[in-house]
């Protein structure tokens, strides 16, 4: 029987590419989303991938959502924590709500989603947790104090949890995408994107969502069983760590 994979924020952007790539690799995939019903329904109609609506920032919603996925598809063996938001502002203009919203979704969301699948993975002796962090969690980014803090936190969580999962057959890894051609990046002011960001990318272009999805498929596979606590940087050479 094929494995079950959950991709949060899996109906748009990088998450949609991940969900499709996992389906093509033979997984039974559930894609969660928080708000955009129209996009989610279109994604479901186009791909045949099951979609579920809940907020990764709400612990009980995650517990209930995972229970529903497991009732429909079976035990979750692969979890891709991809859901993320931006509330960019220079620090002197940043509101407490902008800080809290980003920390809650992009960092606490990883706790909320991973906790409900963790015990089952331990009991079955197999699991794959793949956290989508960001180049901006590695290097920091002006205008993104909130986002950079959350994404750096994701990397700390990855390394700590990897040590807990290792003896139980669970790997926990992170991917740090650079600037990928999604709605999130296209929302950056055009002048900033063209004059400040793209010139910093040695390959000279934005990344493609599928380039991140292929990293996920590898980390989810049995072939990646010796890789845990690690970070794959997929950023076109923009930041070398």
**Which residues are part of the catalytic machinery?**
147
Q: Which residue is nearest to ligand CAA (CB)?
A: 143
Shortest distance, CB of residue 180 to ligand CAA, whole angstroms? 7
Of residues 65 and 209, the one with the C-beta less far from ligand CAA = 209
Contact 102, 85 (CB under 8 A): yes
Nearest to 8 by CA among 99, 68, 78, 101: 78
Of residues 84 and 165, the one with the C-beta less far from ligand CAA = 84
Shortest distance, CB of residue 176 to ligand CAA, whole angstroms? 8
Alpha-carbon gap, residue 137 to 209, rounded angstroms: 18
Of residues 55 and 88, the one with the C-beta less far from ligand CAA = 88
Shortest distance, CB of residue 149 to ligand CAA, whole angstroms? 13
Of residues 170 and 206, the one with the C-beta less far from ligand CAA = 206
Question: Site residues (CB under 6 A) for ligand CAA?
Answer: 86, 88-90, 93, 134-136, 141-144, 147, 177, 179, 184-185, 188-189, 192, 196-197
Pairing of strands 76-81, 50-53: unpaired
Alpha-carbon gap, residue 55 to 65, rounded angstroms: 9
Alpha-carbon gap, residue 188 to 200, rounded angstroms: 15
Shortest distance, CB of residue 167 to ligand CAA, whole angstroms? 32
Shortest distance, CB of residue 45 to ligand CAA, whole angstroms? 27
204: left (phi over 0), alpha (psi -120 to 50) or beta: left
Alpha-carbon gap, residue 198 to 25, rounded angstroms: 32
Across the strands, what pairs with 50? 30
Alpha-carbon gap, residue 13 to 44, rounded angstroms: 14
Alpha-carbon gap, residue 211 to 172, rounded angstroms: 20
How many CB atoms within 10 Å of residue 204? 9
Of residues 45 and 142, the one with the C-beta less far from ligand CAA = 142
């Amino acid at each position: 029987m094929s494995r079950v994979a959950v991709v949060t924020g899996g109906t748009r952007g990088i998450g949609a590419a991940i969900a499709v790539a996992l389906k093509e690799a033979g997984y039974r995939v559930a894609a969660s989303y928080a708000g955009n019903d129209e996009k989610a329904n279109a994604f479901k109609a186009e791909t045949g991938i099951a979609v579920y609506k809940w907020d990764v920032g709400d612990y009980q919603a995650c517990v209930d959502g995972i229970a529903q996925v497991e009732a429909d598809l079976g035990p979750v063996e692969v979890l891709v924590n991809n859901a993320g938001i931006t509330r960019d502002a220079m620090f002197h203009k940043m509101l407490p709500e902008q800080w809290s919203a980003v920390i809650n979704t992009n960092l606490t969301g990883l706790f909320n989603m991973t906790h409900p699948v963790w015990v089952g993975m331990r009991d079955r002796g197999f699991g794959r947790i793949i956290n989508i962090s960001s180049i901006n969690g590695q290097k920091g980014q002006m205008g993104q104090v909130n986002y950079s803090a959350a994404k750096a936190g994701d990397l700390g969580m990855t390394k700590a949890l990897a040590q807990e999962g290792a003896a139980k057959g669970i790997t926990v890894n992170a991917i740090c995408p650079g600037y990928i051609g999604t709605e999130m990046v296209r929302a950056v002011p055009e002048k900033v994107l063209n004059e400040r960001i793209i010139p910093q990318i040695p390959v000279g272009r934005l990344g493609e969502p599928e380039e991140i999805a292929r990293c996920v498929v590898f980390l989810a596979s049995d072939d990646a069983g010796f890789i845990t606590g690690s970070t794959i940087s997929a950023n076109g050479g923009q930041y070398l760590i």
